[in-house]
Every structure is written in C-alpha cells, then in structure tokens.
Amino acid sequence: MAAPMPPVGEMAEEATYEEEDQLRARAEESDMAREDAFAEMSPIGSYSAESLNLLVDSLNGVLPLFEVEEPYPSFEAPIEDGPLPPEFVAAIEMVAMAATDAGLERLAPNLADATDDSKLEEAAGAIDALAENETFRSFLRSPAPGPEEEEVAEEEAVVAEEETEVADEEADALFAERM
C-alpha cells in the first residue's frame, strides 16, 4: 500500500525549505569564492604595524561614506613577509572601485604592488585625498540607479527617437508641399 500523501501545504513548505537551503549553499559558495579572489589579490610583503594602522585610519575615515558603521580593527603586530588580510584588501578595493566609478581613477588606492610600507602610505594618502574630494563624496551620496530608473531612461530615449522620426516625416511633408 502506498504511503499517504502529505497535505498540499506541507509539500509546498518542504519545497520552500529546499529552495532556501539551495540558495544558502550558493550564497556560501559565492562568499568563499569572493574571499579566495581577495586572498589572491592580497599583496605579499613586510609591513610595519605603524604603516598598516595609518592605512586603517585612512580607510576608517571613508567607511562612513559607504554607510559602514563598524570600523576596520587596528593591527596589533607587523606583517613579516606575508599577505594582507583578504577582508582588508576587499575594503580598500571597494574604495578603489568607487573612485573609478566616480571618474577619479587617479586617486584610487592601489595595493597591487604594495610590498612595503611606502606603498601602504601611498594608498593611505590616496584614500585621504578621496575622503576630502567633494566629487567623490557627492558620488557616494547620490543613489545608485536602480533597474527601474534604467528602464525609464531607455523608454525616454525610445520616445525621443520616435518623436524625432515623426518630426522628420512632418518636415519632409512640408518641404514636399512647397515644391
């Protein structure tokens, strides 16, 4: 004899749990891949705690502009011939990407070849300059265009193009009448 069928509501609930588990697993995989990517991007070098913390202070100065309330923690010890922490690199890369998106590539911090204190100090200087840059601050304050805004902009462009075509046809008809 076949097992009794569970009520329809229970089947839907089980499917929802399975979907949530699958989504959670994909999100965890994505997080791990992101961490691996930033670990690979992390430069390897020898850094003093003073230079590391100078960069941390600069980073913490701009994090509120990104609506990040939790400051990055200070370094207690130097890093001797090792990589920068991936989460530290990710935070600095966030600032660099925002600078690029704001059209301020020249001010974007670059850790690609940061193998010593001088490169960390250069990155700190770049972040400090961004923190004071009004264009950068305005860019971060402005809302990012959402999918709806992009659709509206595309629709407006299509309507404007159609209006131009109609106006061109009307102009052609007027010229034809005058001949």
Per-residue pLDDT of the chain (179 residues; tens, 9 = 90+): 566 665 655 665 666 778 887 777 777 776 676 666 655 678 899 999 999 999 999 999 999 999 999 999 999 999 999 999 999 999 999 999 999 999 999 999 999 889 999 999 999 999 999 999 999 999 999 887 666 655 655 666 555 566 555 566 666 666 667 66
| 103 shares its domain with 174 | no
Structural domain that includes position 35: 17-141
Number of domains in the chain: 2
- Determine contact, residues 26/95, Cβ cutoff 8 Å: no
List Cα–Cα distances, 156 to 130, 146, 151, 162, 163, in angstroms: 34, 16, 9, 10, 10
4 occurs within a structural domain:
no
| 136 shares its domain with 164 | no
- pTM beyond 0.75: the answer is no
